Amino acid sequence: MKTIGTLLIVSLFFTIHCFSQSSIDSTGIQLQKLAVLIQEDTLLVGRFKADSIFTRTLVTTLKTPYSFNFKLDSLKSVNHIVSPDGKFKFFTWQLDLGDGTFRQRGAMQFPTKDGQLKLLPFFDNSDFIANPSLGVFDRKKWIGAIYYQIIPITFKNETWYTLLGFDENTLSISKKIIEVVRFEKDEPIFGGDFFNYPADPTYPKSPVDRFIYQYKKGSNAIISYDREFNKIRISQLTSTENDLTNPATLVPTGIDLFFEWKNGKWDMPKKSIPTKK
């Protein structure tokens, strides 16, 4: 017996492909329905099917000339953010595998002079990396994340970008990630020696190529960019069970720390700074 989700997916698939590609708003609504099914279908096979159809439909939509300028405001269940300088757009979403783990999906779009689609797919390689904090990777060995902020930075007379993202990770632990991406021959390269911070059992052991911050799921730990001070704000963590080495027990203390870009690195001072009210 087919699930309601599966029947809806089939219906949506034919509806979308009969739709005029110029009707971007309507297409965005249909994409949103598929995106919801990726998250909420009760069967793993249904979520995989929704993910497959969503991906194909998104690509078809983006093949419309000058699609980089599409806002797709109706698509709320898939993060799609544009770099502040308009150099690229990043689509990221995740698939619940049903065993308490998640797999991220990603695609980076670039504007083109002739309006033709330039889209790079990303492949979540997290399951095959022993220590995801280490390693400089291309998009085929991507450490998956759902990105919510892009921070342009100047380094060696080039514009590079710091990405802030999250990963649902497991049933008990969530992650947030700070990662620097640069471009070589139009290909994104992730990670590098860009972090300097004091030793702390709640942080990954340095040196790292990306800063991965683990904490108790639902505890609302923060990593965000403070534009006023040009710094990355991060919640100081403490343990609910007096065990700072156990991420499943880590929650915010109410005090924030800051990374500041200095001499080619995100640098954190040794002394904490109270949260700005």
pLDDT in tens, 63-90: 989 999 888 888 989 999 999 999 999 9
Query: What pLDDT is stored for residue 18 in this prediction?
Result: 42
Q: Where are the domains of the chain?
A: 65-69+79-274
Report which of residues 100 and 214 the model is more confident about: 214
Amino acid of residue 32: Q
Query: What pLDDT is stored for residue 9 in this prediction?
Result: 53
pTM across the whole model:
0.87
Report in angstroms the alpha-carbon separations of 206 from 79, 211, 274. Answer: 30, 9, 24
Q: How far apart are CA 176 and CA 165, in angstroms?
A: 6
Mean pLDDT of 254-263: 93
Q: How far apart are CA 44 and CA 98, in angstroms?
A: 7
Q: For 155-173, write each residue's pLDDT tens digit.
A: 888 899 999 999 999 899 9
